[in-house]
Structure 1
Amino acid sequence: MKKLLSLFLLSLTSFTLQAVEWQEDVHYEVIADKASAKPQVMEFFSFWCPACNAVEPIVKQMQSRLEAQGVRFDKVHVNFMHFATPETQEAATRAMMIGKVLKREGELNQAIFDRIHKQRGHIVSEQDLQAVFSASGVSTEEYGKMRDSFGVNSLTAKNNKWIDEYRSKLTRGVPAFIVNGKYRATFTRDMTPDQVIELVVWLAGQK
C-alpha cells in the first residue's frame, strides 16, 4: 500500500512539474493582451490537410477532456488552403455546420476526413460532399434543406468571422489551437499525444 501511495504521489508531482514547465515562446505564444471572459479552445483546421487528419484522434480526446471541465471547444474550418477551391472549402464548412445542427458533427466530420485521406476520393464540389453525407444516412433532400437554413447560415458566419479575426495568427498553417483568444499552442517534436492534450488543457486554465 505504501509503495502504491508513493508511486501515486510521484506521478502527481511529475504532472505538476510538467504543467509548471510549459514555457512561453517554446510551448505557446501570447498573441493578445487579454484573455476571453470564458475559457475557449478553437482548433483551426482543414478537411484537406494531412496533418489535421493525422491529429484528429488526439483532438477528439482533447475535446472530451476540455468539455468535461466546462471549457468550450470549437472546430473552425479554414477556407484559405490550396487543396480545393474557396467555393468547395466554403461548402465543406457548411457541411460541417449541417452535421453540427444534426448533432452528428463528429461522425460526419470523420466521414469527410475518411473520404479524402483513407478512400482517396476527390471532393471538388458540393455534390461530392452531399454524396459523403448520403452514404452516412443524410438524404440529398435533407442536406439541401439544411444548407441554407438560419442555423447553418449563422454557424457558418461565426466560423468565417473567427477566420477573419485570427487569420494573421495562423501564419504557421493548420492545425492551430488558439486558447482563450490569447494563446497559440506550439507543439515540439518530442511531445507525446498526452502532452499535446495536457498543454492545451493547461492553457485553457490561464488568464
Structure 2
Amino acid sequence: MLFTALMAFNSQAQVLWEEGTHYRVIADEASKEKNITEFFSFWCPHCYNFEPIVAEIKKKKSNDVKFVKVHVNFMRSAGPDVQDMASQAMMVGRALNKDVEVNGAIFSHIHRDRKLIASKEDLQAILARTGITAEQFDKAWDSFAVKGMMGKNAKLINEFRRHVSGVPNFIVNGKYQATFQRGMSADDMVDLIVWLSELD
C-alpha cells in the first residue's frame, strides 16, 4: 500500500515538473553533496519578496541538502564595489551566526526604508540593528573566515555566471536550474526546488 502511494506520488511529480518547462539540465553530473544554491541581490525587489519562499524551502528540504545563499555583484542598481561590500556584510552576519537577521536588515533598509547604501559605515549601522557591535563588525570584516566566505561566493558566481542572467535564480545539485512559470504558486516553487534537490 505504501509502495503504491509512493509510486503514485513520484508519478505525479514527474508529470507536474517537466524538463525544459520547469527546469533545465545544465551539467552532465550532479554534485557529490546535495545542495540548493540561491543567487540573489539585496537590490532586487523580487529577491526581497522571495524571502518567505526561501524560508519555506529551508524548512521543507531534507537535512542532508545544504542551502547556500550567493549574493551577486552585477545588478545595475548599485556599483559592484557597493554590492561587494554588501556581500561582505552578509558574510559578517554569517560568521557571527546572524545571517538571517543581517539579510533581513539589509533588505529592509533598501526596500522598506528606501535608503541608500554607499559605504562600509552604512552597513555597520545596519548590522548594529541586529545587535552586532562596531567592535564585532570590524573584527569580523577583515577576518580570515569572512575572506574565505567571500572567495567561495565569488567562485560560485564565476562557476554559474553563464546560467545566471537574472535573480532570484536557483541551481540545484549543480545540475538543475529551476525555471519558474507564470501561474506557479509559492507552494509550487517550493515543491519544485525541494523535488529537484532529491534528484541525482
TM-score, normalized by length of structure 2? Answer: 0.93
1:168 is paired with a residue of what secondary structure?
Answer: coil
Matching residue within 171, 181, 192 for 1:188: 181
Which stretches in structure 2 are left out of the alignment for 5+ residues? Answer: none
* 2:197 matches 1:204: yes
What amino acid is aligned across from residue 75 of structure 2 in structure 1? M
2:42 is aligned to: 47
Distance 1:117 1:18, change over 3 A: farther
* 2:19 matches 1:30: no
What CA distance in whole angstroms lies between the structure 1 residues aligned with 2:137 and 2:128? 8
Matching residue within 159, 167, 190 for 2:161: 167
1:76 is paired with a residue of what secondary structure?
Answer: strand
1:73 is aligned to: 67
- 1:112-168 deviation per Cα after TM superposition (whole angstroms, max 9, x unaligned): 101110111111222111110112221222211110101100011000000011100
1:169 is paired with a residue of what secondary structure?
Answer: coil
Contact 1:36–1:180 (CA under 8 A) maintained in structure 2: yes
Matching residue within 114, 117, 128 for 1:134: 128
1:57 is paired with a residue of what secondary structure?
Answer: helix
Identity %: 47
Matching residue within 97, 120, 141 for 2:91: 97
2:57 is aligned to: 62
What CA distance in whole angstroms lies between the structure 2 residues aligned with 1:89 and 1:18? 41
- 1:158-201 deviation per Cα after TM superposition (whole angstroms, max 9, x unaligned): 00000011100112x00000000001001111111111011011
1:42 is paired with a residue of what secondary structure?
Answer: strand
Q: CA deviation at 1:18?
A: 3.7
| Structure 1 vs Structure 2 CA RMSD | 1.7
Contact 1:46–1:174 (CA under 8 A) maintained in structure 2: yes
* 2:137 matches 1:148: no
What CA distance in whole angstroms lies between the structure 2 residues aligned with 1:186 and 1:155? 27
- Structure 1 moving runs of 4+ over 3 Å: 12-18
Q: For structure 1, which segment, 42-51 or 15-24, has the greater mean C-alpha deviation from structure 2 after superposition?
A: 15-24
Q: CA deviation at 1:108?
A: 1.0
What amino acid is aligned across from residue 60 of structure 1 in structure 2? A
